[in-house]
Structure 1
Amino acid sequence: MLQGDHFSALDLTRVPAVDRNQGGGARRALVVASEVGGLSGCENDADAMASLLRANRFDVVRLGGATATRAGILAAYDRLVRDSRPGDAAVVFFAGHGGLVPGEPELRFIQPTDIDDSTEDDFRGVLAEELSVLQWRLSLRTANVTTILDCCFSGRMSRDWPSAGLKARARDGKWPPGGIEARRRAAAEEFRRLRAAHPRAEWYDANPHAVRVLACGQGQLAHERRSPRFGRVHGLLTAALVAELTDAPDRTWQDVADRVRLGVLNLNPSQRPEVEGPVDRVVFTEDTDAVVPTLPVSVDLLTGQARVDGAFLHGLDSGDELLLVPVERGAERLRAKVGVVSGGSAYLTVEGDAAVPEGVIARRVGPRRSKQVVRVDSRSGPPPVDLVAALAEVAEVSPDGGTTGLLATVVVAEGRYRLDDAEGRALHADWRPLDGLGLGRLRREVGHLVTAARLRDLSLRADEDGFDAPVELAVTVVGGRPWSPEDPVVHVGERLRIRVRNDAESGKPVYANVVDLGVGGRVTILNSAEPAGVELFAGTGRPLGADPGGHEPGLPLTWPRGLPAGSARFETVLAVFSDSPQDLRGLTQDGVGHRGRPRSASEELAELLRPGRRDLGGGDPAAVRFVIRNLTFLLCPGGDACAH
């Protein structure tokens, strides 16, 4: 560790996690402006954000100029951590330059006002790894954490946007490699100590308690320009975010992200803001609101043809009805149907041949049915009509025992039911009542099995011929235990290391979403730190779930609590590669065996219909191309089930 440095001198394991069940309610914010390297809007950003936060009852600590040094930022962040309690709200905002040190891995950092005072032994930037440690410490104190970064973590040269008056918030420099490496090692050590001190707080790939609002993607530049609304120079993200939170303060972060992203992309198509973490939260609270199920819509500016890319991912077919909803508030909604599905896209026919405006999302009208077959085995007379009707909303129902395309069997006896898989193995040990809640749960879980089966069957169905880059999904067992790619077997308690790679020699980046299709139909998006896809430049690969410092603990394999453990079952890791960012978080679902509260019919249906999202605005995007790689393995729960 470097002596005398505020960050590396801290003993992070002495900052205890606080019982989340205690009271609280204070609101605190740290707002930092580092206006160096020719920037002129950072102080304006900090003023605007501080005013917004004070209007929302936050106590604001404002740093700028001589107080926004590395030591000043770290000391203020540390005070925020120590002052926070359960139920409190904490916000950290930074406006300034970002930087990047190329290499394996790339190192990103924010630039405090004393960045130019760096020496070989004393790097004055704050690494992303250091920010991750601080954010985890903060989320151990309170789960209501929001981080907003209006900067760029890339040192690449700015694209040419002089006519728009844009200035990049990225700055190259000759940064001291020895000082940077010392900071990286210190952050890695602190992160390992935190993991050891708080083993039950372990998380994979990204902190699940913190909302992170980022100005751009990992390989993009953030920009500033004069804001017509505010009459001063502002970062594109901050201007759009402050305006949106002023006009609609009680929205979810997902709603805010959709509108902010549209506004920024319309000004600069090369800058895509992102919101990560629990995006269903109402801003600056822990309250959640159902994220409205939507589908991504693109419009050809020459022909006006509207389409939904990735139709195979979202299960769209000819005749499906959609409601087209403009992101802009108050705009007219349109009704449409899927006409044809071609080249991986669903092309829409709009009612009345109305023109589809820019910035539109789509919602399904009516439930989505599948061609997957569910058999009903009624052992006490004809199957109940309401049971058959509930299943028919999400699958084909076969009461005669047919097995073609069989997905599952519902066994009915004496007013109760049990759900079995296609091989006749029970998916839950208990017999459940055929009341309204039981039928709602059955419909939801069968819908989850349908979605998981559809995703598992995708494999190479995407148009690989049109996908330019050779890509790879690599999965290995932590510890070096050999396994056969032809017949891989792993056990509960083991961990998998997952890497994705773009083997192209040149060309545009590709984006990888990695999906875990669990043994009970659970669907989890594993790239939570980059929800629009892990950005892979030509000739590069990236691990998932790497800790600061490069350690890869791997994805822990678990067994759903409510799923019988009498036999091993298949699990699949699926990598969806695309040639533009794609947010597939809408595919996430609990699956069978997850113990949660009963849901209303509307909640269950919303769960079944939640899709992914795509950028809105920013010109006329070409149809997105996909290619898929997967690996299916046998997961053994332990005991006699693993006698192989």
Structure 2
Amino acid sequence: MTLRALLIGAQTYGLTGVDTDVRVMADVLGARGFTDLRRCVNGDATYGGITEEMNRLRADTRPGDGVVVYYSGHGALLGELQYLVPVDMGDSTPTDFRGYLAEELTAAVRALREQTPNLTVILDSCHSGGAVREAAYESGRWALKSVELPTVHRDAGLIRAARLARPGDPLVPGVVRLTACQEHGSAYEAELVYGKGRQGVFTAALAEFLRPRAHLRVPWSVLIARVRDRIKQQQVRQWPDAGGPSGRLPFSLDEPAEPERLPLVRCDGRFAVPGGAVFGLGVADRVSMVFPGSGTRHGGAGTSIPATVDEMKAGDALLRPAPSALSSPAAGDLRTAMLPPGAHALAVRVHDRRHVLIDAEALFADALREELARCPRLAETDDAQEAFATVRVHHGTCEILNAEGLPFRDLSETAHAGPSGLIALLEELARGERVRRLGDPQGPSRLEAGLDVLIEVRQPATSGHWRELHAVGERLHHGDHYRVTVTNRSGAPLYFWVIGVGLSGRTTLVTNDQPSGCRLEPHGAEHRGTRTTPPVTIYWPHDVPRQGPRPETIHVLVGDRAMDLSALASRERSLHTADPTLSALLQEVWEGTRDQMLEVGQEFHYRVYTVHADALPEPEGRRP
């Protein structure tokens, strides 16, 4: 196996830190074992040069290689046209558009993904929309990574984009996508702390946490949270995101068992879990606030403080730390200082637990109960009516049955993991059940805004036309497709997420290329007040017995600010799960009110639109 990286740097239109970004990323990746480091910078980073280097990288990549594609430079959004800005962008003509389109990036990454599943895309750029945006930070200390471009021959780009876009193509699964900021937002470069020159704020923070001497075996989702916090400490309004299988360890396919890390902020002198209601928290639930310590080896865990949910303020959970814990010298600074990068909350015991009935031989049952006692969201019951799952282990046979007595999954592999493996599966299934029951809130957490939500299905076995899905009573079949359209009719920006709980119990953040939410512009804006997701395929997983019907749930959650909901998704991935297309790499949710910048009056308000359907294993019209 070879670790390969293509580092693209287009230092154009006033940027001065791109070459430094590429050099720093090359140093970091080299220290992490990358032996094939390719640079496409300066005069080589033309439209043709970038295209040629992407093709060459694909030709040289072998199955099992680890591959990184990195870009630093300007990004642009002009209406529906999204593109990176090569160094020869100014040479565009009415028939020769030199921007590197998002659709071209999608096609190149899809081709790489056919060679290897271990693929990471990192973009340190932003959109400019063709307009000048003055940086408003400390007398020019910050340089915006967007630019007033010369006359853009948009039609030639749109024609090429239309030729490349193929709506029927399968979505690109299993690609980790790290982006510097969100749509309509900004990425910045700043003065280096030591020495002269500038560097991209995102690249600098990412490199800090990727350096081997500061590395923990933590997944991308954890690292990106630390990067976000580091950028926040610099007072930069920039929101990095991690899409795709962000539960992976960096540059590998390994997904370690991780607790469900909840966001943690301080609001008006109080600790809070933004969006706590969505994560299943309620008053009197117990959590642990974890503050990584900068003084510990490799920046490891420093302080853990028990806390209780004291109040729900709209959709956010306000915490009351244990007085004895906060009075300790180790926690003294946390009451006033900015939270350290990576601060988060862990559920310890919550009210919204799922009950498990254990039907097993004594020794195995005791081992299961011991594991179960440590689960914050699971509890044992002896009442079959209230159990969401029954664990049945007898004479070497193991099953986990749902309320209808059907096995959730084929356990031929999981059973070898023993009690711990079964409990891990139960936790995943319980998360699915909890998310499946997510409902439209009432009271102060309810979003009061004008919007339209349309959930449609296309069933190829019948007419093949799109029709609206009813909230209940629908039957979906293997091979059907659904899509979601959301329209903002209010005067403020909104954000939406599509969350699917499949018939296997797995939870998927369908809009996973935009884990912090798909931004909808206010009513009357020229673009993006309405968005439609790519079609999502309903399929019957190979590890689910072909007995049905089984529940399939589609949630559309709409909120009034951006918030990372990737923690809701199951860790386990499948090549068939709905992993959104990379054409949205440059369509992240930018410039929202962010959960790490929570302030008074910015509590999370939301609505949930749901379809509860029955899924069947065969296409419509075909008998099993």
Cα deviation for residue 523 of structure 1 reads 1.0
Q: Which amino acid aligns with 2:346?
A: R
SS in 2 for 1:450: helix
Residue deviations 1:180-217 (CA, integer Å, cap 9, x gap): 1222033226x97xx5xxxxxx43xxx33332221111
Aligned-residue CA RMSD (Å): 3.6
For the pair 1:342 / 2:312, whether they are aligned, the reply is yes
Residue deviations 1:409-456 (CA, integer Å, cap 9, x gap): 4556667554333234444578999x9945444434443443333222
The 3 A distance-change label for structure 1 pair 341 and 46 is same
The 3 A distance-change label for structure 1 pair 468 and 328 is farther
1:182 paired residue number: 159
Preserved CA contact (<8 Å) 2:259 2:346: no
For the pair 1:78 / 2:55, whether they are aligned, the reply is yes
For the pair 1:153 / 2:127, whether they are aligned, the reply is yes
2:344 paired residue number: 362
Preserved CA contact (<8 Å) 1:334 1:350: no
Cα deviation for residue 114 of structure 1 reads 1.1
The 3 A distance-change label for structure 1 pair 369 and 229 is farther
Deviates more, 1:528-537 or 1:149-158: 149-158
> In the alignment, which of 138, 141, 147 is matched to residue 115 of structure 2?
141
The 3 A distance-change label for structure 1 pair 157 and 513 is farther
In the alignment, the residues of structure 2 paired with residue 426 and residue 593 of structure 1 have an alpha-carbon distance, to the nearest angstrom, of: 19
The 3 A distance-change label for structure 1 pair 592 and 272 is closer
> In the alignment, which of 519, 543, 548 is matched to residue 503 of structure 2?
519
Cα deviation for residue 81 of structure 1 reads 1.4
- Which of 1 and 2 has higher RCO (CA within 8 Å, sep 6+)? 2
In the alignment, the residues of structure 2 paired with residue 363 and residue 67 of structure 1 have an alpha-carbon distance, to the nearest angstrom, of: 46
In the alignment, the residues of structure 1 paired with residue 351 and residue 247 of structure 2 have an alpha-carbon distance, to the nearest angstrom, of: 26
SS in 1 for 2:434: helix
Residue deviations 1:117-148 (CA, integer Å, cap 9, x gap): 11110011111111111111122222332322
The 3 A distance-change label for structure 1 pair 431 and 388 is farther
Preserved CA contact (<8 Å) 1:224 1:234: yes
Cα deviation for residue 272 of structure 1 reads 0.7
2:578 paired residue number: none
The 3 A distance-change label for structure 1 pair 266 and 480 is same
> Which stretches of structure 1, 4 residues or more, deviate above 6 A after TM superposition?
380-383, 429-433, 590-594, 639-644
Preserved CA contact (<8 Å) 1:322 1:363: yes
The 3 A distance-change label for structure 1 pair 643 and 175 is same
The 3 A distance-change label for structure 1 pair 281 and 523 is closer
In the alignment, the residues of structure 1 paired with residue 255 and residue 29 of structure 2 have an alpha-carbon distance, to the nearest angstrom, of: 20
SS in 1 for 2:221: helix
Cα deviation for residue 322 of structure 1 reads 2.9
Cα deviation for residue 296 of structure 1 reads 0.9
The 3 A distance-change label for structure 1 pair 269 and 66 is closer
The 3 A distance-change label for structure 1 pair 148 and 642 is same
In the alignment, the residues of structure 2 paired with residue 112 and residue 96 of structure 1 have an alpha-carbon distance, to the nearest angstrom, of: 8
Q: Which amino acid aligns with 2:344?
A: A
The 3 A distance-change label for structure 1 pair 157 and 578 is farther
Kindly report which structure 2 residues correspond to 1:284-363, keeping only aligned pairs within 5 A, or say none. Answer: 284-291=251-258, 293-300=260-267, 302=268, 304-327=269-292, 329-330=294-295, 332-343=302-313, 344-351=315-322, 352=324, 353-354=326-327, 355-356=334-335, 357-359=337-339, 361-363=343-345
1:567 paired residue number: 548
Cα deviation for residue 255 of structure 1 reads 3.4
Unaligned runs of 5+ in 1: 1-23, 196-201, 546-553, 595-613
Residue deviations 1:578-609 (CA, integer Å, cap 9, x gap): 22222222222379999xxxxxxxxxxxxxxx
Preserved CA contact (<8 Å) 1:499 1:541: yes
Deviates more, 1:178-187 or 1:417-426: 417-426
For the pair 1:510 / 2:494, whether they are aligned, the reply is yes
The 3 A distance-change label for structure 1 pair 425 and 31 is closer
2:88 paired residue number: 114
In the alignment, the residues of structure 1 paired with residue 91 and residue 412 of structure 2 have an alpha-carbon distance, to the nearest angstrom, of: 68
> In the alignment, which of 276, 282, 286 is matched to residue 243 of structure 2?
276
> In the alignment, which of 6, 18, 29 is matched to residue 5 of structure 2?
29
For the pair 1:623 / 2:603, whether they are aligned, the reply is yes
In the alignment, the residues of structure 1 paired with residue 476 and residue 173 of structure 2 have an alpha-carbon distance, to the nearest angstrom, of: 26
Cα deviation for residue 623 of structure 1 reads 2.7
Preserved CA contact (<8 Å) 2:262 2:567: no
SS in 2 for 1:129: helix
Residue deviations 1:329-369 (CA, integer Å, cap 9, x gap): 33741412214232333222223345444335334374656
Q: Which amino acid aligns with 1:180?
A: G
1:529 paired residue number: 513
In the alignment, the residues of structure 2 paired with residue 230 and residue 619 of structure 1 have an alpha-carbon distance, to the nearest angstrom, of: 34
Q: Which amino acid aligns with 1:136?
A: R
The 3 A distance-change label for structure 1 pair 52 and 372 is closer
In the alignment, the residues of structure 1 paired with residue 506 and residue 236 of structure 2 have an alpha-carbon distance, to the nearest angstrom, of: 35
Q: How many residues align?
A: 570
Identical-pair percentage? 26
Preserved CA contact (<8 Å) 2:359 2:365: no
TM-score (norm: length of structure 2) = 0.81
Q: Which amino acid aligns with 1:461?
A: P
> In the alignment, which of 445, 455, 460 is matched to residue 475 of structure 1?
455
Preserved CA contact (<8 Å) 1:154 1:170: yes
Q: Which amino acid aligns with 1:350?
A: P
Preserved CA contact (<8 Å) 1:370 1:396: no
SS in 2 for 1:312: coil
SS in 2 for 1:501: strand
Preserved CA contact (<8 Å) 2:456 2:469: no
For the pair 1:423 / 2:394, whether they are aligned, the reply is no
Cα deviation for residue 94 of structure 1 reads 2.0
SS in 1 for 2:430: helix
For the pair 1:543 / 2:511, whether they are aligned, the reply is no
Cα deviation for residue 236 of structure 1 reads 1.1
In the alignment, the residues of structure 2 paired with residue 168 and residue 640 of structure 1 have an alpha-carbon distance, to the nearest angstrom, of: 53
Cα deviation for residue 245 of structure 1 reads 2.6
Cα deviation for residue 562 of structure 1 reads 3.6
Residue deviations 1:226-252 (CA, integer Å, cap 9, x gap): 121453211211222233333525654
SS in 2 for 1:487: strand
For the pair 1:99 / 2:79, whether they are aligned, the reply is no
Cα deviation for residue 470 of structure 1 reads 2.9
The 3 A distance-change label for structure 1 pair 271 and 632 is same
Q: Which amino acid aligns with 2:536?
A: L
2:222 paired residue number: 255
1:163 paired residue number: 138
2:204 paired residue number: 239
In the alignment, the residues of structure 2 paired with residue 641 and residue 130 of structure 1 have an alpha-carbon distance, to the nearest angstrom, of: 38
SS in 2 for 1:338: strand
1:498 paired residue number: 484
Q: Which amino acid aligns with 2:184?
A: G
SS in 1 for 2:278: helix
Preserved CA contact (<8 Å) 2:563 2:595: no
Preserved CA contact (<8 Å) 1:463 1:627: no
1:68 paired residue number: 45
Q: Which amino acid aligns with 1:238?
A: T
> In the alignment, which of 382, 390, 397 is matched to residue 399 of structure 1?
382
SS in 2 for 1:78: helix
1:21 paired residue number: none
SS in 2 for 1:311: coil
Cα deviation for residue 293 of structure 1 reads 3.5
In the alignment, the residues of structure 1 paired with residue 31 and residue 390 of structure 2 have an alpha-carbon distance, to the nearest angstrom, of: 56
Residue deviations 1:51-103 (CA, integer Å, cap 9, x gap): 4344444333333332221111211221111112123333322222111111x
TM-score (norm: length of structure 1) = 0.78
Cα deviation for residue 309 of structure 1 reads 2.2
